[in-house]
Structure 1
Amino acid sequence: MSLPALPTAGLLLLRNADVFAPEALGRRDVLLGGGKVLWLGAPGEAPVSDAVERIDLAGRRLIPGLIDGHVHVTGGGGEAGFRTRVPPMKLSQFTTAGVTTVVGLLGTDDVARSTRDLVATLSALREEGLSAYGHTGGYHLPPATLTGSVRGDIVFVDALIGVGEVALSDHRSSQPTLDELLRLASDAHVAGMMTGKAGIVHLHLGDGARGLDLVTRALDASELPPRVFQPTHVNRRRALFDEALVLANRGCSVDITAFPVADGEDAWSAADALVRYLDSGAPPDRVTISSDAGGCLPCFDAQGHVCGMDVGQSGALLATLADLLAAGVPLERALPAFTRNVADLLRLPRKGRIAPGADADLVALDAAHAASLVIARGRVHVRDGRAVLRGTFEQ
C-alpha cells in the first residue's frame, strides 16, 4: 500500500482574522510559511504576491492551537479487566477539537501499557502532523521507563519532557512516601535542567482525604522549585481545589480537568474552577486546563469496584471554553489556561501564542465556539469544521 504524503507547509495568508494571541489584538492578517508564523499585521499590508494562497476568515476569532496537557494517547482504562482498556486515539479526534499539541501519558495501567508504546504512539502522531510530547512513568513507583531511569528517559528520548501521571491520594496509587516523591522530583528537575525540557512531575490526585499534603510536605522539606510539581484533577473535590490555590500561591502550576460534573456533586466543573481560580487572586499564569482524553473516567463503589465509566475527550476543552464565554468571561482572560500557560510550564516557547516566529498552530472559531479551521504546524487539518487530513487508519 502506498501512503499519501503529507502536504507541505507552504505560504498561507489568513485574512481578516479577529486575533487573540491569546491577548486581544483585533483585526489582523497572519502570514504562515514553513510551519511558522512569518508576519502579523494590519489587513491588506502583508508583504506577499497575489499568488499566495489566502483564506478569508471574515472576522472569525483566531486563537492559538489548544495544548492538551493530559492525554492517554495509547488509551487508558483497564481498571475492570482487559476488556475495559480504551483504544488509542486517532489524529482527527484531536484536530477537530482544536487541539494541535498533546502531552501523552500512562495511567493506572503502566504494565500492559508501556513507555515504549507511548513513545511509538507519540512518534506516529508527529508523523501525521501533530505536535506530540509525553511523560515517562505512570501511576506507580518505581516508574515505568524506557531507558531504566526517569533521568535517562527525559535526557535521551526527545519526546519525553517530564514524569507522570504519578498517583497520590488514590486507592490505585503505589502509596509513595515523601522520600520517594522527592527522589522522583529531583530526577525530573535535574533532567529538565540538562535538556531545557519541562522536567516536571505531573501528579494525579484522587479522592483521598490526604489531598495535596504530600506535595506540601515536599515543598517544605526540599530546595526543589515549586514549578516541578503539577497536580492535576484539582477540581474533583472542592476542598482539594482550595488546597490547590494555596500551592499555586507558593509557585506550583495546578491543572484543572474538563470532566463532567453532576448537579450537587462535591466538585467544580472546569469552567467554574477556572473562574474561581482567577477571581481568587492566585497567579493567573499558574493554572492550566486539560481533558484527560482517552482516559477512562471510572466511578467506584465502597469496595473499590468499578460501577460505571466514561471516556475523556479532547472536545471537552472547547466545550469548557464555550461555557466560560457563555458565562461572560472575556476570551482573552480564559484562553491562557488552554494555551500560553501550558506552553510556558512545558517550556515550549513557540507554542500557545500567535506571534512572528511562533509555530503555525492556529484555530478559527465559528459563532458556536467550535473549530471551523485548524492549522497544525502550518498545515490545514480542519476546514469548515471537517477533517481534511486524517490519520493513517482513518482513511
Structure 2
Amino acid sequence: MLKLIKNALIHAPDPLGIGHIVIAGERIVYLGSTMPDLPDLFETEVFDAEGAPVVPGLIDGHAHITGGGGETGPASRVPPMGLSSFTKAGVTSVVGVLGTDDLTRNTQTLVQQAYGLRDEGLSAWCHTGGYHVPLTTLTGSARGDIVFLDPVIGVGELAISDHRSSQPTLDEFLRIASEAHVAGLMTGKAGIVHCHMGDGERGLSMLEQAIATSEIPARVFNPTHINRNKPLFEQAVALARHGCYVDATAFPCEHVDPGISAADAYLQFRDAGDKVDRFTISSDGGGCLPAFDHDGNLTRFGVGLCDILPETLAELVRAGVPLSEALAPFTSNVADLLKLHRKGRLKVGMDADLVVLDENLAVRHVMAGGEWHVREGQVARRGMYEQG
C-alpha cells in the first residue's frame, strides 16, 4: 500500500511550503508541490495534513534504552525504555548508551535492546563501552564492536571530569579515540567517542589536549551534557570552533540549575556566531539525573524523558528561532554527526520517518519507517510488553 500525505507544510528541515509526500514501504518516493497522480492500480492510504507542519522524525542521540541509574543501590536502577517512550515524543531514531552502571548492564544487553526496538519499528543504534576504562565490550575491543556489530556506531558515554569516572589518562583516552576513529573509517559508521561531561573543575581540558596533541580529527570527540554548568558550556563553545559537535541535554526545568536549559544553550551558542550545524540536543531519556555534594553524596534524583525534546523545540520557536532552524539540532545535525544518511531530512529516498505537529508544535501524529505509531496524540502502536 502507498501512503499519501497531502497538504503538508513541509519543513525538511528547510521550509518547502505546502506540498505532498508519497511513501512506499519504508521510503519517501515523492515529495513536491504538485499533487501526484497515483494510478488506481496501487491501493493508497490518504492522510490530509490540512496545512499542519510536517517535519523529520526526531533523532535522540543519547538515551539509556536499557535503563540507567543505580547510584543509590539496586532498587534505583531505571527500567528499560519502551517503544512508545520514544514515539509519543516524536522520536523515530535513537542511540542507546550505558552510564554509571556498565557492569550489571553491558554491551550485550544494549545491542539486544537496540535489536528489540528495531523489531518494533524504531530505528535504533548504540555505543559500546560506558563510563569506565577498561571499556565494557562484546568482542574484546571497541574497534571490534564497531566493525562487527551492526547497531554499534561509536564509543560512549565515556565519563570525563566526573567523580564516577575511572579517571582515564590522556594516553588511555587517545587509544580509545583512535580505535573508534579507525573503526569508523573501516565501516562508514560515526566512529565517535561520546563523552559524558561531569561537574569536575577540569571540564573539557582532556578533549582540548587530545585535539592539540594528536592527529585524530576533532569530530571524533563528542562531549554531551555541555550545559550542565556555565563554565563547561563556555569551554564547549570554544571546543566547537575546532570542529567538534557538542551535545546539550534537554534537562527538565527542575534539574537545570546550576546549568542552563538546552534552548538557552542553543541561543547563546548561536549568538556567539558559532556554526549551529555542530550543535545537537538529546534527552538523556531513561537515565538518572542525579546531583551530588562535594563529598559525592546524592542530593537529588530524577529520570530523563524523551518528551522534553519536542518541548525544547517549541521553546526555541517561541524564542524567535524559525522552525526550520530549530529542528536541526534534533534532526539533520544529529544525522550528520552519526552518519545516518537516510535520517534527519525529508526528501526522496530518505526513510519515511516524520512527525505532524499541531498549532502549538506539540506532537500530533508520528510515522516511523512508513508506519503510523502515534495518531491524534495517542499511541497507536505499542511495544510487546507495554500496557494499552
TM-score bracket for this pair, using the shorter chain length: over 0.9
Structure 2 unaligned segments of length 5 or more: list them. none
CA contact (8 A) 1:362 1:374 kept: yes
Q: Which residue of 2 aligns with 1:362?
A: 354
SS in 1 for 2:154: strand
| Moved beyond 6 Å, runs of 4+ | none
Per-residue CA distance 1:221-252 (angstroms, 9 max, x = gap): 10000000000000111111111111111000
Contact 2:252 2:304 in 1 (8 A): no
SS of equivalent to 2:103? coil
For 1:216-235, list aligned pairs within 5 A.
216-235=208-227
Give, in angstroms, the shift of residue 70 of structure 1: 0.2
Normalised by the size of structure 1, how large is the TM-score?
Answer: 0.96
1:117 aligns with 109
Query: What SS class does the counterpart of residue 290 from structure 2 fall into?
Result: strand
Write the deviation string for residues 114-134 of structure 1: whole angstroms up to 9, x where unpaired.
Answer: 111101100000000000000
Q: Deviations over 1:83-114 (max 9, x none)?
A: 00000000011000000000001000000111
Partner of 1:31: helix, strand, or coil? strand
Matched, 1:334 2:301: no
Matches within 5 A, 1:6-45: 10-45=1-36
Residue pair 1:261, 1:267 contacting (<8 A) in 2 also: no
Hey, what's the Cα distance between the residues in 2 that align with 1:96 and 1:173? 33
Displacement of 1:44 after TM fit?
Answer: 2.2
Q: Is the 8 A contact 2:78 2:288 kept in 1?
A: yes
**2:137 maps to what in 1?**
145
Q: Deviation of residue 302 (structure 1)? A: 2.6
Task: Using structure 2 for the length normalisation, give the TM-score.
Answer: 0.97
Change (3 A) 1:123 1:51: closer
Contact 1:12 1:33 in 2 (8 A): yes
How far off its partner does 1:65 sit?
0.2
Structure 1: where are the runs of 5+ without partners?
1-9
Would the aligned equivalents of 1:17 and 1:27 in 2 still touch at CA under 8 Å?
Answer: yes
Contact 1:12–1:31, Cα closer than 8 Å, also in 2: yes
User: What CA distance in whole angstroms lies between the structure 1 residues aligned with 2:209 and 2:86?
Assistant: 37
Q: 1:55 aligns with which of 47, 51, 54?
A: 47
The CA RMSD measured in Å over matched residues stands at: 1.3
SS at match of 1:250: coil
Aligned match of 1:6: none
Which residue of 175, 196, 219 maps to 1:183? 175
Residue identity opposite 1:341 in structure 2: N
The CA deviation string for residues 13-37 of structure 1, in whole angstroms up to 9 with x for no partner, is: 0010000000100000000112001
Does the CA-based 8 Å contact 1:198-1:345 persist in structure 2?
yes
Q: 1:7 aligns to what?
A: none
Residue 273 of structure 1: aligned partner: 265
Secondary structure of 2:80's match? coil
Of the candidates 266, 274, 285, which is equivalent to residue 282 of structure 1?
274
C-alpha distance in 1 between matches for 2:57 and 2:323: 14
Query: Would the aligned equivalents of 1:270 and 1:289 in 2 still touch at CA under 8 Å?
Result: yes
Q: Output the CA distance in 2 between the equivalents of 1:95 and 1:353.
A: 17
Aligned partners of 2:361, 2:237: CA distance in 1, in Å? 29
1:1-395 matches, within 5 Å, as 10-49=1-40, 51-262=43-254, 265-394=257-386, 395=388
Aligned length: 386
| Structure 2 CA distance for aligned equivalents of residues 199 and 269 of structure 1 | 28
**Any idea what the Cα deviations from partners look like across 1:176-203, whole Å, max 9, x if unmatched?**
1100010000000000000000000000
Q: Is the 8 A contact 2:6 2:49 kept in 1?
A: yes
Pairwise CA distance, 1:275: 0.9
Aligned to 1:126, what secondary structure does the other structure show?
A: helix
Asked if structure 1 preserves the Cα contact closer than 8 Å seen for 2:228 and 2:256, the reply is no
- In structure 2, what residue type is equivalent to 1:85? R
